[in-house]
Amino acid sequence: MLNFIYYPVSFILWCWHWVFGHIFGDSSGIAWALSVVFLVFTLRALLFKPFVGQVRSMRKMQEFAPEMQKIKKKYPNDRQRQAQEMQKLQSEHGVNPLGGCLPMLVQIPVFIGLFHVLRSFKPGWGEVYFFDAKGVESFVNAKLFGANLSTFMTMPEQMLESFKTERVSVILVAVPLMIVASIATHFTARHSVARQTEAALENPQTAIMNKLTLYIFPLGVLVGGFFFPIAILLYWLSNNAWTLGQQHVVYKKIDSEEAEKKATTATTRQALAPKPGQKPQPQAKKKPAAPSTGETNGSASTEIPGLISDRSTGKKPGSKKRR
């Protein structure tokens, strides 16, 4: 049903195993662990540009967050009008709220696909999507510090025996991974929350989401570590490590761009402002309009001796009256 996800995921994993298998050996646990890690790096690299768009979109939304609060106060009982006004505001600022969710939405099917592919690697199975029977057998025989990558701490004893792995070995590998992955999840969320403005932090919905990402999600990784295969814990840890590093690079770049923009604006204002000690140039006064010499409705003509025509008598100016 989800083969359009399983085949691409298994193909990327196969490519990286082909690379690292030539270095460490086909059945090496390090080769398979690095294959999972670089599978994550490959997918996240493809999503780098959408992530930058997500950060820019979130930054713009934080800038006009006070305006959104004004809309909510203006139409407290009209949800439809609120949605229309907010959509209009987002359109004016060039923000697409759904665009910011793209990287997260894409990672969900990837996680499901990798989880399914790795769970399909079992002893005695034939082909698994892009891997042939030999590739599956290579993964089954690979061990990382004595534990197979498909095993997890709560796996039934019979299944552990089929992988020829002891539960103690699985615990010794899985527990450090899930603790570090949980801590990395917390610090990734913490780094993201630290970028939010005061107006965004005062929003009740934002406060709830921040608590979820800071505490509930890391706790979920910690609890899920008892049921996730070691390969999935590697995926989770490498994914959070990539996110933390990516956030540092992208935020630094955006901060540099904004600082440069502010410096340019300040320089332009300083160039246009008057120099210290220099008085502002007075604006030239406009000269009053010259009075009209012709007659207007309800106004008298300008009298010039000897040049006024007496229209009532019909005489020309300067003509003498005969006695």
Structure confidence by residue, pLDDT tens digits, 156-185 = 998 888 888 899 999 999 999 999 999 988
In this structure, is residue 320 part of a structural domain?
Answer: no
Model pTM above 0.85 = no
Sequence length of the chain is: 323
**Average pLDDT over all residues of the chain:** 77
Give me the mean pLDDT over the 142-158 stretch.
90
Nearest alpha carbon to residue 68 among 254, 208, 205, 255: 205
pLDDT of 224-273, one tens digit each? 889 989 998 999 899 889 988 888 888 888 878 778 877 887 777 777 76
> Is 69 a member of any domain?
yes
Would you say residue 162 lies in a domain? yes
Q: Is residue 303 part of a domain?
A: no
Amino acid present at 281:
Q
Residue 205 lies in a domain: yes
Q: Among 31-45, 62-76, 104-118, 286-300, whose mean pLDDT is lowest?
A: 286-300
CA dist 286 and 216 (Å) reads 70
Q: By C-alpha distance, which of 20, 19, 33, 25 is closest to 145?
A: 33
Interatomic CA distance for residues 193 and 191, integer angstroms: 6
Q: What's the CA gap between 307 and 262, in Å, rounded? A: 68
Asked if residue 198 belongs to a domain, the reply is yes
What range defines the domain where residue 150 resides?
3-258
DSSP SS3 for 144: strand
**Rounded Cα–Cα distance for residues 5 and 265 (Å):** 48
The answer to the question of residue 244 being in a domain is: yes
Distance CA 105, CA 191 (A): 20
Looking at the 3D structure of the chain, how many domains does it have?
1
Tell me whether residue 265 is in a domain. no
**CA separation for the pair 186, 197 (Å, rounded):** 19
